[in-house]
Structure formats: C-alpha cells, structure tokens
Chains A and B, each alone.
Chain A
Amino acid sequence: MQENIRQEVLNALAKLAMADPRFVVDVFDDPEADLNAKLARYGFSLNEEELEEVREFQRRVLSSEEGVAEVLRYPRMVYAFWRGH
C-alpha cells in the first residue's frame, strides 16, 4: 500500500485552501485548462501519478455539478445522490 499523493503536497494544498479559498475555483473550475500549469502557478510540482489523482478528483467534482443545481430544487433526491446510493 502506497501514498497516492505525498503528505507534504496534501498539507500544502490544505494550507492554501484555508488561506486562499478562491484557489479552488481558479484551479478546478475549467476542465479544459492545463491542471499541471495551474498548480505550478501556486508552487506545486506533482509527479504524473499524483496529477492523475488530482485530475480524478476534478472529474468527480465537475460531474457532480449537476447535483448542486438539483439540490436547489429537490433536496431529498440529491441527498441520496451525494450519498452515492
């Protein structure tokens, strides 16, 4: 069993997310943008495996965006959606 992403990278991402919450929008909102370049702008240097993990997170967040819109109309239905049932 191995680390997917180095602990120091996770700690730095968490620290940045607390200090500058807008970085989440900047980095993850555009699926067409170069994720590696975006992260590099914030000082991150990820290897290919780590980058793939972050890309997978981005894909799952973006695919759930429809759920956020639905939340406003059908909270109970989307409650089940978030729980992955």
Chain B
Amino acid sequence: MRIERALLRERVVQVFALLDKVIEALPVHSCHRELLQAHLKIEREQAAAQPEMSAIQMPLLVHEAITGDERAALPVAAACTLFFLGADLYDSILDHELPPYWRTRDSAEVNLAATTLLAALPQLSIALLREEGTPPARLWALAYLFADTVLELNAGQHEDVLFPNLENVSLEDSRVMAERKSGSAGTLLAKAGAVLATEDPFTIEAYAAFGLCFGTAKQLINDVWDIWGEDTSRDLLNGKRTLPIVHALSTLQGEQRERLQKLLAAARESEEHHDEVRALLAAAGSVRYTALIVWLYQQQAQNHLAAVSPQGLAGREIRMMLDEASLLPQP
C-alpha cells in the first residue's frame, strides 16, 4: 500500500504557501528577496513532482500522531523545509554540484542565499507560532533545536570534506559522519514536530531517536545510489569516503586493496574508472554490507516508534515512510 499522493501534495502546497508569506514579509532589499524566491520556485516544482519530501511530511505527521492535528505544525514544517533547502544548497556548494540556476550566479550569492535559508528563515518561521499562543519555553526549545542541528550537521559536513584527504578512515568514522551529517537532520524533522506537540520528554526523545535512525538510513541509501544510480558518481569524483567505499577498503587485502586505492584516485579525475571501482566494491560485498547497516538502522527506528505507538493515519504514514527506507527490494 502506498501513501496517498494527493495528501502529500496538499501538504506541499500548504507549506510552500507559508514560505511565500515568510519571504514576502522579509525586511530586506528586493534583490535578496528575489534570489530566495527564485530558489523557492525551483524547489516548489521539485517538491510537487516528488511530494514525499520528508522535511515537509515528517514534522506534520509526528505532530498529528501525537495530537491528532497537523495544521498547527505548519510553521514548524515550513522551518524544517527552509532548513533543508539551505543545507541542501550548502551541500551542493561543497560537492561542486550546483543545480543549473545557480551555476550562472556569483558564488557569493549562492553562499548568501544558503546562509539566509539555513540560519535566519527557520527562526522567523518558528516565530509565527507566537501568534498562535505557543508558550515561550516551547519556542525557545524549537529555536535551540535548530541551532543545535546546524552545529551537528556542519561538523558532519566538515568531516565529509576532510575524509578524502585522510589515510585511514574507519567504518565507525564513516558511520558516525553519516549520523552527524544526515541523522541530525532526521532528528530535527521528527523532534521538531514532537517538541511542538508535547512536553513529555520520553515521547520527544523517542521521536528524536527515530529521526536519527531514519535520517542515517536514508543517507546510506543515497550513498549507494550515488555510486550505482548514474553512469557518473559524484561521490567518486569528489573522493568521498562513504560507507560502501570504506567497507571495501577495510575488507579487501593485498593487491586488490592497492588496486582499489589506485582506482579511487583515478576515479577523481575521470568517470571512465567508475565501473571498475563498482566492480571491486561489489566483489568486496560492500552493497550487501551497507544493506545490513541500513536494515539495522531501520529496525532500530521501528523500535523507537514502537515505544510511542504513533496512532491513526499519521502513524501509518510514518511507518510506511520507514518501510521505504531500505536498500532491499520490497517484499
């Protein structure tokens, strides 16, 4: 059974309508506003085509699973979406893979837009909750959560940038980096919905732990898709030390390991070596290994959900999102 796409799209429409309002009201020069609006236009089209975007869906679903209502969480979902758009733009800058619109702009403009999206606008979106009578302590908890997530995410991104130049990156290093980089964002999406919905620390922490596992599983899936999904792998071009690559480096020995190291260096220069790298990773069982780690995160996320038993349609949707966070063919 799949989630009703019309429902997902309706949430996308509502959240982007709120983002329009937030950006329209900004007390800034029109050129900065127009820059943000142009980015929003592109992202809105993408979100309409792929409405599963968890930055929109997850905070609304968690709030509804706890309180029975999702509408009250729209400002939180808007804040999470702005955060995601900023983080995604930064990720594109770091990985030298800017979307077409930004390639013609000055790099300073891209940085400025990403900073505004990531650091300023989520807070302004959260501030909308004041008008709804949300208590100051809860607003502060949300503001702190966003700041804490930027810190954790940036620390993970920093490791991601440094690892290609290090000799011995361990499996644990790579796993923890994925948790910092993407598990932190997953934590934000689920925890923000819970923080607005309840003061119960057990419920909030259970959803936070669920989000960490869900976000990390999705990152590891993306790491596999990056290598096998297209002819050219961005991660191989950027020399990334994602889990499948570190696994192969950890398990292959002797000549095979040396060959992989040489191929990884060559793969940074040209895509013609990417298939050879893929062949060695497959021979090392790195896809299977990553599938196991993703499955373990998925099972742990399931346990954290079991602790709070999310109810109703929202609970079912959250479980379906989790079921899809897998590298294995659907049963």
Min CB gap B269→A, angstroms: 20
A75 touches B331 (CB 8 A): no
Which residues of chain A are within 8 angstroms of B303 by Cβ–Cβ distance?
A: 3-5, 7, 10
Is there an interface contact between A57 and B295, defined as CB atoms closer than 8 Å? yes
Distance from A64 Cβ to chain B, minimum over Cβ atoms (Å) = 5
Please report the C-alpha to C-alpha distance between residue A81 and residue B230 in the assembled complex, in whole angstroms. Answer: 13
Per-residue interface assignment for chain A, residues 1 to 17, with 1 indicating a CB less than 8 Å from any chain B CB and 0 otherwise: 11111010011011001
List the B side residues contacting A69 at CB < 8 Å: 282
Q: Which of B306, B309, B330 is close to A84, meaning CB atoms less than 8 Å apart?
A: B330
Q: Quick one: which of B230, B288, B309 contacts A75, CB cutoff 8 A?
A: B230
Which residues of B sit under 8 angstroms from A72, Cβ to Cβ? 275, 278-279, 282
Compute how far the CA of A75 lies from the CA of B282 in the bound complex, rounded to whole angstroms. Answer: 13
Residues of A within 8 A of B251 (CB): 21-22
User: At the interface, yes or no: B292 with Cβ under 8 Å from chain A?
Assistant: yes
Secondary structure dominating the interface of A: helix
| Contact of B288 (CB < 8 Å), options: A1, A3, A11, A61 | A61
Minimum C-beta distance from B179 to chain A (A):
11
Closest CB in chain B relative to A75 CB, distance in Å: 5
A18-B171, A64-B329 known; A79 vs B225 contact (CB < 8 Å) = yes
Cβ of A60 < 8 Å from any Cβ of B? yes
B287 contacts across to A, CB distance below 8 A: 68, 71
User: Secondary structure of the B side of the interface?
Assistant: helix
Nearest CB in chain A: distance from B159 CB, A: 16
A13-B293 Cα distance, complex, nearest whole Å? 9
Docked Cα-Cα span, A28 to B282, in Å, equals 15
Please name all residues of chain A whose beta carbon is closer than 8 Å to the beta carbon of B278 when the two chains form the complex.
71-72, 75
Q: How far is the CB of B198 from chain A (nearest CB, A)?
A: 18
The range of chain B's interface size is: 35 or more
Minimum distance in angstroms from B228 CB to a CB of chain A: 5
The verdict on A10 contacting B296 (CB below 8 Å), with A63-B329, A79-B229, A79-B230 known, is yes
Instruction: Determine if B175 is an interface residue (Cβ-Cβ < 8 Å).
Output: yes
Which has the most chain A C-beta neighbours within 10 Å: B292, B295, B296, B303? B292
Contacts of A44 in B (CB 8 A): none
* Contact call A2/B306, Cβ cutoff below 8 A: yes
Interface residue A53 (Cβ < 8 Å from any Cβ of B): yes
Docked Cα-Cα span, A5 to B300, in Å, equals 8
Q: Which residues of A contact B327 (CB under 8 A)?
A: 64, 82
B contacts, CB < 8 Å to A: 171-172, 175, 224-225, 228-231, 247, 250-251, 275, 278-279, 282, 285, 287-289, 291-293, 295-296, 299-300, 302-303, 305-306, 309, 324, 326-331
- Nearest 8 CB-CB pairs, A to B? A60-B328, A79-B229, A84-B330, A1-B306, A3-B303, A1-B309, A14-B296, A18-B172
